[in-house]
A and B are shown apart, each in its own frame.
Chain A
């Protein structure tokens, strides 16, 4: 079974340009997440899709970031215009939620290799 894939693996752009990152989740996973790690910081959550709907976008830093998941399959994360502080590694993850009785539920998230974005 193929894992989570991300494209491109590296991207170098100039400040003010636009970049689009792509994530292909594991087939059949309804949940898709974006995270990022900027230089010297911890990995931070950006947003969560359930199928094509945004379940939680509380981690999106500002309106220069736009995430889509048309058709509930792959997802794109566009940064427009890119700023220097956007440099870092962007990770995508997917999961198939396992829900138990009551309010308890858990999900194992499977991460892709990440896209390293450098803004000059």
Chain B
């Protein structure tokens, strides 16, 4: 129940295309869903996050779509650029808990080809 499932494992997109990464969770107590971007040799960096009271959140070229009934959420990267090439992790957390620990998905390696 603590798992967050992420797909695809890897993704190749042409420059200017749309990258879509999907995640699913089981624990309905989760109420905070961030996406982290990680470049090789670096720590994860928060990209965008959403709470389940909204169905979509957009920040620049990055959009999270959230489907509470299906317990799924996805990251859309519009106009993908070579600089977006990185590993993307979805995560989930229960902010009412004592720790707010993050449960991460397995990651998606995105390669944007010029």
A, B bound: no
